[in-house]
Amino acid sequence: MPSTLSHPSGRATLATVPDRKERVVILGSGWAGYTFARSLNPNKFDRIMISPRSYFVFTPLLAGTAVGTLEMRAVLEPVRRLGLDGFYQGWADDIDFARKTIRVEANTSDDLASRTRLMVKHSSEASEKGPMFEVTYDKLVIAVGSYSQTFGIEGVKEHANFLRDIGDARKIRMKVLQLFEKAALPLTTDEERRKLLYFAIVGGGPTGIEFAAELHDLVKEDLSRIYPELMRFVRITVFDVAQKVLPMFDQTLAQYAMDTFRREGISVKTGHHLTRIRPDSECEGCFKLKIKEYGVEEISAGIVVWSTGLMQNPLVEKLSCKKFTAPPTTPDVKSPVEVQLEADPRTGGLITDSYLRVNVTPRTAKSEPSLHNLHAGPLVDVYAIGDCAVIPGEYLWSLIFFT
C-alpha cells in the first residue's frame, strides 16, 4: 500500500526497475470508469481506482429498485470484486498534471453514498472537506461522471428525491410506502390523502418516465389490493419544461409512451416550469410546488422525484479553469508552455482527441491565434471518458447513451 502514495524518491526508485508495470489511475466507478477498469489487462498495468463509492450501480434499473421490483443488491457490483491493485474511497479534489499527482479527499462518511449533486456552499466548502492524501499516476483516466442538475431552483436540493444512487432508490421506496401508511391512518383527512398521494416527477427524460411507469405499476398491481380505499386519491404527474418528453428517442417511441401514459391515467404536463418546492405547513410531510404556469396557486405533493438531467462535475469545472505547465505537444516548440484543459463551451465537458486524450490549449489572449494553434493538442497520459468527456464527432452517440 505505501507504494501507491506520492513519495519524492519513490518514483525515481521504481522507475529504475525495468519491468515495473505502468500505474493507471481511474477516477470514478460509474459506467465509464468501472467498465474501463474491468477491461484493463492486470498483467500489463497496475490498476488503481479512486471513487467516493465502492460499487458500480446499474443505473437503468434504479427506478425498478425504487419501487421494489428489484432487490437493491441486484443492481450493485462491488468495485472490490474486480480485484484491482488499489481502491481508495474518496473524491479526486485536484490534479497536478506536471507532478502527475492526484489530491484525494477521503470519503469517510458512514453511509457510503456519493455526492451526486452539489450540497455544500462554495464559501464554506473548505471546512466541510474530509482528510486529503495524494496518489501518483503514470496514466490517468478521468471518468468522474456528472452531478444532478437542479438549476438552482429553491428547495430542490432540500426537499426533492433524486434517483442516481442506490441510497436515493431506497429513500424513495421507504417514502412511497410511508405515504400510503400515513394516508391510511384514521385521522388523515381526505384532503390530506389527496396531497400525500400526489406523486410529482420533474423531468420527462428516460429516468423520470421510467420511474413514473414503475410507480404506476406498483400502485395498480400491488398497492391497489392493499389500500383499495386509497386508490381514488392517487395521482402521478410528470412535469417538464420542454414541449415534449423523451426528446432523445424517436418521435414514434415517445408518442407510444405518451399514449400509454394517457390510457393508464399518468398525467404528463409539458411546458410547465417548477420554480419552488417548500414544505406544506398544513400537511405534515407534504410539499408545496410552485409552477409558473399556475400563477400564485401552488400544488401539493407527497413526494417530488427530480430528474431533470445532469450538470458538470465540480472537479471538471475546476480542472478546466486551471493553468499549468506542460511539455509542448508538437515538435515545433521546444520549451514547456503554460496551458489549460480545453472544455466544451456548451456542456463544460473535457474535449478529447479521437484517442480520448484530453486536449490542452495555451493560456493566451484570444488575439494570438498563431500561438494557440502551435500548442493546442492532447495532453500526454491523461484521458477522459463518459459523461465528463466530449469526444469530437462522437457527440450524438454520447448524447444517446449518457443523457
Provide the binding-site residues for a second copy, judged by CB under 8 A: 1-2, 4-5, 54, 71-73, 80, 87-90, 106-112, 131-133, 135, 174-175, 177-178, 181-182, 184-187, 226, 229, 284-285
Nearer to a second copy, 13 or 109 (CB): 109
Q: What is the DSSP string of 146-186?
A: EEE--TT-BTHHHH-B--SSHHHHHHHHHHHHHHHHHHHST
Q: How many CB atoms lie within 10 A of CB 392?
A: 11
- CA triplet 194, 198, 202: central angle to 5 degrees? 160
Instruction: Give the C-alpha separation, 286 to 159, whole Å.
Output: 10
Nearer to a second copy, 29 or 361 (CB): 29
**Residues 403 and 161 sit within 8 Å (Cβ to Cβ):** no
Give the burial class of 276: count Cβ atoms within 10 A of its Cβ; 0-12 exposed, 13-18 middle, 19 or more buried.
middle
Shortest distance, CB of residue 301 to a second copy, whole angstroms? Answer: 15
Nearer to a second copy, 80 or 318 (CB): 80
Give the burial class of 18: count Cβ atoms within 10 A of its Cβ; 0-12 exposed, 13-18 middle, 19 or more buried.
exposed
Shortest distance, CB of residue 285 to a second copy, whole angstroms? Answer: 6
Shortest distance, CB of residue 283 to a second copy, whole angstroms? Answer: 11
Nearer to a second copy, 1 or 396 (CB): 1
Shortest distance, CB of residue 110 to a second copy, whole angstroms? Answer: 6
Instruction: Give the C-alpha separation, 59 to 105, whole Å.
Output: 25
Nearer to a second copy, 58 or 402 (CB): 58
Instruction: Give the C-alpha separation, 389 to 27, whole Å.
Output: 13
Shortest distance, CB of residue 339 to a second copy, whole angstroms? Answer: 30
Nearer to a second copy, 83 or 393 (CB): 83
Shortest distance, CB of residue 303 to a second copy, whole angstroms? Answer: 10
Q: What are phi and psi of 286, to 5 degrees?
A: -95, 165
Residues in the chain: 403
Nearer to a second copy, 285 or 348 (CB): 285
Shortest distance, CB of residue 277 to a second copy, whole angstroms? Answer: 16
Exposure letters 217-231 (e unless 16+ CB within 10 A, then b): ebbeeebeeebeebe
Instruction: Give the C-alpha separation, 142 to 68, whole Å.
Output: 33
Q: Which residue bears the cell 429553491?
A: 154
Shortest distance, CB of residue 202 to a second copy, whole angstroms? Answer: 20
Instruction: Give the C-alpha separation, 386 to 398, whole Å.
Output: 8
Give, in order, the Cα–Cα distances in Å from 179 to each of 101, 184, 196, 198.
48, 9, 6, 10
Nearer to a second copy, 105 or 210 (CB): 105
Give, in order, the Cα–Cα distances in Å from 101 to each of 5, 18, 134.
9, 22, 6
Nearer to a second copy, 54 or 307 (CB): 54
Instruction: Give the C-alpha separation, 156 to 149, whole Å.
Output: 10
Shortest distance, CB of residue 370 to a second copy, whole angstroms? Answer: 45
Shortest distance, CB of residue 71 to a second copy, whole angstroms? Answer: 6
Nearer to a second copy, 88 or 239 (CB): 88
3-class secondary structure, 262: helix
Q: Which residue bears the cell 407534504?
A: 286
Nearer to a second copy, 197 or 326 (CB): 197
Alpha helices in 40-124 (DSSP H): 62-66
Shortest distance, CB of residue 6 to a second copy, whole angstroms? Answer: 9
